[in-house]
């Protein structure tokens, strides 16, 4: 097990270094520079822009910039954000937890809801319930994130103002609340974006899980259980579901990077102060250090998600363990 | 049609209810301070350190937290000192030769940490702004100032190398005065990492409260301010990057103010009686800039646009009025030239190149550009009359204008391709003069002198902002003459001559001068909104006690 983990860790390091290198050179190859927006301000002369570039080392040859960047990352310094004028680590510290909160709520809710819907469908395949849930899942699966988010915003925050329109807290009242009030305030603001993401992801989970359950139901052990007089409900829940979870484990591993990147559009629509806005604005403003740091975190999450999925596989399927 | 009617209704409403954006004071109700203004803001500040800031939101926040020595008045006249209002400086004295101005600081002025504001703060501020290691965008506007010295703790003198009509503006309103005692000799890159960059400590009527990245920034009333307590308790900028969210926040009542309302949003806005709108002249103009030099080799003239008559003919093919109407409705006016109507120096009777496809066709024929093939494209010696207009893709208005121009030119046998780029790539093309024509836009200063950099010979050097290489010494000479004139009537006449020169030369097709439509909740009683800074007098806005809602009565935290 230790050898396995060490091997996977080494793989992860290689992947992250490769991704960082590619991201660094790709973003630098894109036209424009971090101080391009200042070009539309006639007050910002070329001398000033040159001064800014020099102060960030952008006047140095690209390989030299890369070596310096890698060296600073190795020391734990992710650089200085040009667009936000603060250390990249400080930007991530402010925004990453917000995205993690939103995405973890959404992912947990979507897996629970998705599996529940799949069980309902699998218990009576081709029934009206199965068809309705399948139709709704397909509809949600086909909808662009931003459209669904906008509809949720207009319906549940504007026309029927049940939830706040945007942000993560009430900017006027939040600081005057007690601890419980602050938690409730954040939860109230989390509902709409989390609901949008839950609807989207649960549709995916339900479709995968339904297919896996329908594959498992004709198996011999299910027939045996039926012959023993076990109820259909119990067969699906206790026997088929456990054996049909493997595809969901894969899906969970794949969904992990979405903790960082999956909510870009939803965060934008609901003005959620998370990584989505950071990634988009860092691309727009050619904020190289911030963008590359976001890519590094993304690749770490991909590798981490894949590792967790593999480990869960080994737990779920004894044939994959070392002793077999 | 519905859009037009609604927009007209809103416009009438705006002008009848609030001349120049202000809402008249109601009787009583303003005596008790209170109120929270929530601004739905599409942009976040980059940094809150005045010498380094670049974004509009950073300007809004810092200009309420810090003070100038004197403020530009409602007329936006930046020549002389007649229209300026005292701020950190209570008064000022000119030397007999006009080569120095002595500012007398208000002795009661204090920083928000309780320290008194001193003349040495002004000296340090000037040093930081002009230090090349700082790289301040404002440094170039301070070139007329030779030095700044402190005569005593509350008297500071600005020395000038030569007289200029805007020297008072340069000294009094280009810099926000920052506290020297909190900088501890930091310079260059170290200034970006000082605590002031994120948590400003100023002397303005509002003090900084908080800035949560991606969420909000907040300032609160400085209750013991030397210029008087603001009438509002706090101002909050609630950030969102999606235009739908920004607008919905306003309509849903979570925000009180939104600037830059777009024409499609106007009809919906008109249905909300609790929101009023104010239209103010803008400081932006956009245009199609022709490259007068060959983009492949800038030492050679452009094969098409070096020809003045061809440029004039192309300008005659473009119906600017229709374009502005189609894209902006009544929220813009056709641009007059490289200037804006908000300048007191702008004469609106400038003679424009008329829209006249017939005349343009005759000129093109006479220049040898004739339709010869089946494709209806004009040719001269086998070369088609074809060029590419580069536009910034994210700017919906500029893209729309490009499409209409493409259609209008096509009707006369001119083929214009549109190259839509993301903003970074667009800027890169501009910077390297790598374009035939570009859909440009400038946001100008309150002072008209910046046109020298954008259209004068000085800006046509490598790295300058005159991207189309327009160079006419007569235009420059007339501009210099206007900028050095001290008589307002004469100045206006000379500016008119300079602008007429460039309009006649047609280095660009002057398209639109967008106005700013600000929507604001009706409970706010505002003062006159300045075109260059509508937020300038927020400290004097108020909400009558009878009209306050829950968030207006939260009060200040102790």
Supply the DSSP symbol for A178.
-
Q: CB contact, 8 Å: B51 with chain A?
A: no
Contact B513, B341 (CB under 8 A): yes
B192, B254, B551: residue with CB nearest A164: B254
Q: B interface mutation test: which of A30, A43, A278 has the most B CBs within 10 A?
A: A43
Q: CB contact, 8 Å: A95 with chain B?
A: yes
Contact B293, B470 (CB under 8 A): no
Set of chain A residues whose Cβ sits within 8 Å of the Cβ of B46: 83-85
Q: Considering only CA atoms, which of B367, B355, B255, B250 is closest in space to residue B306?
A: B367
Element (H, E) at B235: strand B234-239
Chain centroid to Cα A78, Å, comes to 21
Does the pLDDT at position B30 exceed 60? no
Q: Which of B150-164, B457-471, B521-535 has the lowest mean pLDDT?
A: B457-471
Given an 8 Å threshold on Cβ–Cβ distance, is A172 in contact with B238?
Answer: no
- Using the Cα atoms of residue B350, residue B354, residue B360 and residue B363 in order, give the sign of their dihedral: negative
Set of chain A residues whose Cβ sits within 8 Å of the Cβ of B50: none
Question: What's the 3-state SS for B383-440?
Answer: EECEEEEEEECCCHHHHHHHHHHHHHHHCCCCEEEEEEECHHHHHHHHHCCCCCEEEE
Structural domains of chain A in order of their starting residue, each with its CATH number: 2-87 (no CATH), 96-320 (1.10.3720.10)
Set of chain A residues whose Cβ sits within 8 Å of the Cβ of B52: 85
Q: Considering only CA atoms, which of B538, B539, B490, B488 is closest in space to residue B83?
A: B488
Q: Considering only CA atoms, which of A247, A257, A220 is closest in space to residue A235?
A: A220
Between the ranges A219-228, B109-118, B192-201, where is the mean pLDDT highest?
Answer: B109-118
Q: Provide the mean pLDDT of chain B.
A: 90
A36, A38, A272: residue with CB nearest B137: A38
Tell which B residues from 179 to 238 touch A, by Cβ distance under 8 Å: 188-189, 192, 197-198, 212-216, 218, 234, 236, 238
User: For residue A166, what are the contacts with CB-CB under 8 A and spacing of at least 6?
Assistant: A153, A157, A189, A269, A270, A271, A272, B238, B240, B245, B248, B249, B254
Confidence at residue B12, expressed as pLDDT on a 0 to 100 scale = 39
Structure tokens at B212: 């949560």
Q: In Å, how far is B405's CA from the nearest CA of chain A?
A: 22
Q: Which residue of chain B has the CA closest to A175?
A: B557
- Tell me the per-residue pLDDT of A67-106, one tens digit each, with 9 for 90 and over: 999 999 889 899 988 888 889 999 999 898 999 899 889 9
Q: Which residue of chain A has the CA closest to B195?
A: A86
* Cα distance between residue A269 and residue A154, in whole Å: 11
ipTM above 0.90, yes or no: no
Confidence at residue A280, expressed as pLDDT on a 0 to 100 scale = 84
Confidence at residue B204, expressed as pLDDT on a 0 to 100 scale = 97
Q: At B21, is the pLDDT very low, low, confident or very high (cuts 50, 70, 90)?
A: low
Q: CB contact, 8 Å: A190 with chain B?
A: no
Given an 8 Å threshold on Cβ–Cβ distance, is A44 in contact with B189?
Answer: no
Does the pLDDT at position B213 exceed 70? yes
Confidence at residue A324, expressed as pLDDT on a 0 to 100 scale = 52
Q: Which residue has the higher pLDDT, B264 or B437?
A: B437
Strands (E), B23-165: 36-41, 70-71, 85-86, 89-94, 100-105, 145-152, 155-160
Confidence at residue B13, expressed as pLDDT on a 0 to 100 scale = 41
Count of all residues that appear for chain A in the document: 324
Q: CB contact, 8 Å: B28 with chain A?
A: no
Q: B487 in helix, strand or coil?
A: coil
Q: What share of chain A is helix, strand, coil (3-state, %, to 5)?
A: 75, 0, 25
Contact B466, B459 (CB under 8 A): yes
Q: What ranges in B218-356 are assigned the alpha helix state H?
A: 243-251, 266-270, 308-316, 320-328
Q: Provide the mean pLDDT of chain A.
A: 85
- Tell me the per-residue pLDDT of A24-68, one tens digit each, with 9 for 90 and over: 998 888 877 777 655 556 566 677 777 778 878 888 899 999 999
Set of chain A residues whose Cβ sits within 8 Å of the Cβ of B339: none
Given an 8 Å threshold on Cβ–Cβ distance, is B192 in contact with A85?
Answer: yes
Set of chain A residues whose Cβ sits within 8 Å of the Cβ of B137: 38, 41, 43-44, 48
Helices (H) and strands (E) in chain A, counts: 15, 2
- Tell me the per-residue pLDDT of B279-293, one tens digit each, with 9 for 90 and over: 888 889 999 999 999
Give me the total of CB pairs closer than 8 Å, taking one residue from chain A and one from chain B.
175
Confidence at residue B273, expressed as pLDDT on a 0 to 100 scale = 92
B36, B424, B465: residue with CB nearest A36: B424
Confidence at residue B3, expressed as pLDDT on a 0 to 100 scale = 38
Burial B267-295 (b: 16+ CB within 10 A, else e): bebbeeeebbbbbbbbbbbbbbbbbbbbe
Burial (0-12, 13-18, 19+ Cβ within 10 Å), B82: exposed
Q: A interface mutation test: which of B135, B174, B247, B552 has the most A CBs within 10 A?
A: B135
Given an 8 Å threshold on Cβ–Cβ distance, is B557 in contact with A175?
Answer: yes
Burial (0-12, 13-18, 19+ Cβ within 10 Å), B354: exposed
Please state, in angstroms and as integers, the Cα–Cα distance from residue A250 to each residue in A217, A237, A321, following that order. Answer: 20, 20, 17
Q: CB contact, 8 Å: B398 with chain A?
A: no
Tell which A residues from 7 to 66 touch B, by Cβ distance under 8 Å: 30-33, 36-52, 55
Q: What's the pTM value of the predicted model, to 2 decimals?
A: 0.84
Does the pLDDT at position B43 exceed 60? yes
Tell which A residues from 257 to 286 touch B, by Cβ distance under 8 Å: 268-274, 277-278, 280-281, 284-286
Q: CB contact, 8 Å: B22 with chain A?
A: no
Count of all residues that appear for chain B in the document: 558
Set of chain B residues whose Cβ sits within 8 Å of the Cβ of A171: 38, 215-216, 218, 236, 238
* Cα distance between residue A233 and residue A123, in whole Å: 7
Does the pLDDT at position B419 exceed 80? yes
Confidence at residue B106, expressed as pLDDT on a 0 to 100 scale = 97
């Amino acid at each position: 097990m230790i050898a396995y983990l060490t091997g996977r860790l080494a793989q992860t390091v290689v992947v992250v270094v490769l991704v960082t290198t590619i991201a660094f050179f790709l973003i630098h190859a894109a036209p424009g520079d971090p101080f391009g927006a200042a070009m539309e301000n006639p007050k910002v002369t070329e001398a000033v822009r040159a001064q800014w570039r020099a102060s960030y080392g952008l006047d140095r040859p690209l390989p030299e910039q890369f070596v310096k960047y890698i060296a600073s990352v190795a020391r734990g310094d992710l650089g200085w954000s040009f667009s936000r004028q603060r250390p990249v680590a400080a930007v991530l510290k402010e925004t990453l937890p917000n995205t993690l909160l939103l995405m973890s709520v959404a992912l947990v809710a979507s897996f629970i809801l998705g599996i529940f819907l799949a069980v309902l469908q699998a218990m009576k395949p081709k029934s009206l319930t199965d068809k309705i849930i399948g139709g709704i899942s397909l509809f949600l699966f086909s909808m662009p994130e931003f459209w669904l988010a906008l509809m949720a915003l207009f319906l549940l925050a504007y026309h029927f103002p049940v939830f706040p329109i945007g942000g993560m807290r009430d900017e006027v009242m939040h600081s005057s609340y007690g601890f419980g009030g602050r938690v409730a305030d954040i939860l109230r603001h989390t509902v709409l974006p989390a609901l949008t993401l839950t609807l989207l992801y649960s549709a995916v989970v339900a479709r995968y899980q339904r297919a896996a359950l329908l594959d498992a139901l004709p198996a011999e052990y299910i027939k045996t259980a039926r012959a023993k007089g076990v109820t259909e409900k119990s067969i699906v829940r206790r026997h088929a579901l456990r054996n049909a979870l493997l595809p969901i484990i894969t899906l969970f591993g794949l969904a992990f990077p979405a903790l960082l990147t999956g909510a870009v559009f939803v965060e934008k629509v609901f003005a959620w102060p998370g990584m989505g806005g950071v990634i988009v604005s860092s691309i727009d403003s050619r904020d190289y250090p911030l963008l590359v740091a976001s890519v590094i975190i993304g690749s770490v999450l991909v590798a981490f998600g894949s590792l967790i999925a593999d480990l869960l596989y080994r737990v779920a399927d004894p044939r994959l363990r070392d002793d077999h | 049609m519905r859009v037009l009617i609604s927009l007209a209704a809103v416009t009438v409403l705006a002008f009848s209810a609030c001349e120049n954006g202000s809402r008249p004071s109601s009787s009583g109700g303003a005596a008790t301070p209170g109120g929270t203004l929530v601004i739905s803001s599409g942009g976040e500040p980059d940094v809150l350190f005045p010498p380094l800031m670049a974004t509009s939101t950073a300007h809004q926040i810092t200009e309420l937290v810090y003070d100038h020595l004197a403020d530009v008045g409602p007329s936006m006249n930046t020549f002389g000192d007649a229209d300026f209002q005292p701020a950190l400086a209570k008064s000022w004295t000119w030397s007999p030769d006009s080569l120095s101005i002595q500012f007398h600081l208000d002795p009661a002025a204090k920083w928000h940490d309780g320290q008194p504001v001193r003349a040495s703060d002004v000296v340090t501020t000037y040093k930081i702004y002009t230090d090349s290691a700082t790289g301040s965008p404002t440094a170039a506007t301070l070139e007329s100032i030779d030095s700044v010295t402190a005569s005593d703790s509350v008297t500071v003198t600005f020395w000038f190398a030569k007289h200029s009509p805007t020297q008072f503006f340069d000294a009094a309103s280009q810099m926000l005065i920052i506290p020297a005692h909190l900088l501890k000799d930091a310079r260059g890159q170290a200034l970006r990492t000082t605590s002031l960059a994120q948590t400003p400590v100023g002397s303005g009527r509002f003090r900084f409260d908080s800035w949560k990245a991606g969420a909000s920034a907040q300032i609160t009333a400085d209750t013991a301010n030397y210029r008087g307590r603001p009438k509002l308790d706090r101002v909050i900028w609630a950030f969102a990057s999606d235009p739908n969210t920004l607008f919905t926040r306003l309509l849903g009542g979570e925000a009180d103010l939104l600037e830059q309302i777009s024409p499609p949003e106007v009809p919906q806005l008109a249905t909300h009686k609790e929101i009023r709108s104010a239209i103010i002249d803008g400081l932006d103009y956009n245009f199609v800039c022709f490259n007068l030099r060959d983009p492949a080799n800038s030492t050679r003239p452009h094969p098409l646009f070096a020809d003045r008559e061809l440029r004039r003919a192309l300008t005659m093919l473009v119906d600017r009025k229709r374009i502005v109407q189609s894209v902006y409705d009544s929220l813009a006016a056709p641009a007059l030239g490289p200037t804006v109507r908000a300048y007191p120096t702008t004469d609106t009777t400038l003679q424009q190149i008329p829209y006249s496809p017939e005349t343009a066709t005759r000129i093109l024929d006479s220049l040898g550009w004739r339709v010869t093939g089946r494709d209806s494209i004009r040719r001269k010696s086998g070369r088609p009359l074809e060029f590419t207009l580069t536009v910034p893709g994210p700017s919906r208005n500029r893209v729309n204008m490009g499409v209409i121009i493409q259609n209008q030119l096509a009707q006369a046998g001119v083929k214009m391709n549109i190259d839509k780029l993301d903003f970074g790539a667009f800027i890169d093309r501009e910077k390297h003069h790598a374009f035939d024509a570009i859909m440009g836009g400038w946001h100008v200063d309150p002072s008209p002198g910046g046109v020298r950099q954008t259209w004068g010979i000085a800006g046509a050097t490598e790295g300058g902002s005159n991207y189309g290489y327009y160079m006419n010494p007569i235009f420059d000479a007339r501009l210099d003459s206007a900028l050095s004139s001290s008589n307002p009537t004469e100045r206006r006449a000379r500016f008119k001559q300079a602008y007429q020169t460039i309009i006649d030369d047609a280095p660009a097709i002057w398209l639109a001068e967008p106005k700013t439509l600000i929507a604001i909740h009706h409970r706010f009683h505002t003062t006159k909104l300045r075109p260059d800074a509508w937020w300038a007098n927020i400290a004097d806005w108020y909400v009558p006690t009878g009209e306050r809602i829950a968030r207006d009565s939260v009060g200040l935290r102790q």
